[in-house]
A = this chain, B = another copy of it.
Amino acid sequence: MHSQLALIERYREYLPITDATPIISLGEGNTPLVKAVNLHRLIGASGMKLYFKLEGLNPTGSFKDRGMTLAISKAVEAGARGVICASTGNTSASAAAFAAKAGLKCYVILPAGHVALGKLAQAILYGAKVIPIEGNFDRALELVREIADDCQVTIVNSINPYRLEGQKTGAFEIIEALGQAPEYFCIPVGNAGNISAYRRGFKQWWQSGKIAKAPMMFGFEAEGAAAIVQGKPIANPETFATAIRIGNPASWQEAELAANESGGLIDSVTDDEILHAYKLLAESEGIFCEPSSAASVAGLIKQLKAGSVLPDALVTCVLTGNGLKDPDSALKSSQVDLTPVKAEAKQLVKAMGL
């Protein structure tokens, strides 16, 4: 059965693997591409063919698994003693899970001030060694780079070149599901690796003649962390969409090129716009994504209003992570009256508003 092949096995001819590469898989990829039935009408584009790529249904709950399966497989092939990353969130969860299956030690280094236990629950349960340091995130990443070689541990932060190569498979799956590329492709931009990876995927299959046209790439930063849009690093990025709260994106250049050469753009959306899209996805399509994921839909709404996206187009929005990663945002963004009612039929029907 198609879906039971490991992701990098399925696309091996497009990836840097050989028969000698041991494939470490958790059932990643092959995520649903779901068609909107309500949301496009609610944003004034009833003729739009709008699809959501549900990357939160990957094994550890985010798109990171696509790149991590390749990064960890290559680390095993290279004979690494373990893997290491500086991360407070989705990267650490993904790294720890694949390392567990591979039988490698996993070290997660993070700034002592940013230890949110809920976000680390996955890495901890998978058995990673989590080490807070007395310094900020940049210092954590610096230390990771400093010690990796000597310790024979492979860095699996996004500077690992295999991460983006694995992530480009998302583009292949979208093309296979639609039978063509979408006209417009919308995606959140934080570290800017994902938009770069999808561009690689679309470009590769366009150049090999599998699609007639590659999509216009639209990337959306959060306004409080919009380094690329503002043309300069942001010292203290701030946004409700924590997974894209990054002030100096690692893949800045490649992301800008992806947008420019495809005829798209990189823009920003406000926290209010992200929150609105986040709730709209849940209430009108039954999709619960991470707040940051909703930046793709918030951006689509903005570009539609601006006339940069045509209302009857074929559009794909990537929803990068699972809303279950951040239940607090769901509760904070909803007002709900939980006053108990009497356990009687009449009272209940009244409370239901019927």
Chain A interfacial positions (CB closer than 8 Å to B) = 1-4, 25-27, 30-34, 37-38, 54, 57-61, 96-101, 103, 107, 109, 112, 115, 117-118, 121-122, 124-127, 129-135, 139-140, 143, 146-147, 150-151, 173, 176-177, 279, 282-288, 322-325, 327-328, 330-331, 333-334, 336, 338-345, 348-349, 351-354
Contact = CB atoms under 8 A, between A and B. Distances in A.
Contacts of A58: 57
A343 B133 contact: yes
A331 B131 contact: no
A177 B4 contact: yes
A122 B343 CA distance: 24
A286 B59 contact: yes
B283 A340 contact: no
B134 A341 contact: yes
Nearest to A53: B27
A132 B325 contact: no
A2 B4 contact: no
Nearest to A100: B286
Contacts of A325: 324
Contacts of A322: 61, 322, 324
A325 B323 CA distance: 10
B286 A117 contact: no
Given A101-B38, A324-B322, A348-B147, A340 B132 contact: yes
Contacts of A344: 143
Closest 7 CB pairs of A and B: A27-B32, A135-B343, A97-B286, A112-B340, A324-B324, A121-B327, A101-B286
A283 B61 contact: no
A327 B118 contact: yes
Contact of A57 (B27, B109, B340): B27
Contacts of A177: 1, 3-4
Contacts of A117: 331
A127 B30 contact: no
Nearest to A278: B125
A135 to B, nearest CB: 3
A26 B287 contact: yes
Contacts of A2: 1-3
Given A30-B3, A130-B338, A323-B125, A348 B109 contact: yes
Contacts of A279: 125
B1 A287 contact: no
Nearest to A118: B327
